[in-house]
Amino acid sequence: MFEREECFIKNIVKKAYSKIIKNHNMEVSDKGEKDLVTNLDLATENFIISNIKKNFPQDYVVSEEFNSLAELKDRCWVIDPIDGTVNFTRRTNDWCIQMAFVCDGEVKTSAIYVPSRNELFFASLNGAWCNNKPIKVNSNVDIDKSIVAHGQVSKSYLKIKPEVVEVLRHMSDKVMKLRNYGSSGIEYSYVACGKCDGEMIFSNNMWDYLPGEFICKQAGGFVLSAKIKKMEVHAVFATKELCEEYEKAIKNSNN
């Protein structure tokens, strides 16, 4: 039903890298406190949006750099042109380009492209793949052998940072390792293919969580949303046991 959108999203994330990021020099600017943006974030987002307008002229866009305040409407593309910009500016490998296509409030297809490994993670309503090979979450992992990733607390969520620390403390007591890779897209991709067993994100920026959340769900993961002091947070896990511990941690943090 969404074959055209699926084909487009798989191609455009790779084209954005090959035509924009790969062939241009990087210039770095401050983007508020403890955040950066590059000319390539902006150019990549512009490139993707211009191609959406050519191919789907009636569709809406939500994107990190130019349309961050937009809302999901009807048919909508959600774009994070470079997820893990700080990593990107330090020339490390943990960054990606990620997108989701949403129709009537539900994700129908999404993609995460990791240029350093030439890995394309993709999901449709029929499943999830990495470079055209089916992927599944690590559904048999014991909780004390599990690895769970977590993003940093977004700037607008600093008021709940003590509660987030408590959630992380609870989870660290239960799992083998906590990890922060500096890119939610990288972390979601690791969960989807079994390299990691959970991802907790303390933000409500849809470009950060929608693409990877859908890929993990289609790979067999459990998707959770919850509130800490009325602030919405998101997580995916490979097992119900991890979900239960996360729910306990959230409950404890709200007491």
How far is Cα 198 from Cα 89, in angstroms, rounded to an integer?
Answer: 26
Domain positions in the chain: 3-134, 143-254
Residue 35 has a pLDDT of 65
Q: What is the pLDDT along the chain (255 residues), one digit of tens a residue?
A: 899 999 999 999 999 999 999 988 887 877 665 566 788 989 999 999 999 999 999 999 999 888 887 889 899 999 999 999 999 999 999 999 999 999 999 999 999 999 999 999 999 999 999 999 999 999 999 999 999 999 877 778 889 999 999 999 999 999 999 999 999 999 999 999 999 999 999 989 999 999 999 999 999 999 999 999 999 999 999 999 999 999 999 999 998
Counting beta carbons within 10 angstroms of the beta carbon of residue 214, is it exposed (0 to 12), middle (13 to 18) or buried (19 or more)? buried
Specify the DSSP class assigned to residue 154.
P
Q: What is the pLDDT of residue 64?
A: 84
Please tell me the predicted confidence (pLDDT) of residue 65. 83
pTM for the model stands at 0.95
Query: What pLDDT sits at residue 154?
Result: 79
CA distance 5 to 77: 10
Query: What is the architecture, at CATH level 2, of domain 3-134?
Result: 2-Layer Sandwich (3.30)
Class of domain 143-254: alpha beta
Closest-CA residue to 168 (of 57, 68, 245):
245
Same fold, 3-134 and 143-254: no
What amino acid is encoded at 99 in this protein? M
Beta strands 222-228; 60-63: pairing state: unpaired
Let me know if 127 is exposed, middle or buried by CB neighbors in 10 A (0-12, 13-18, 19+).
middle
Which pLDDT value is given to residue 25? 83
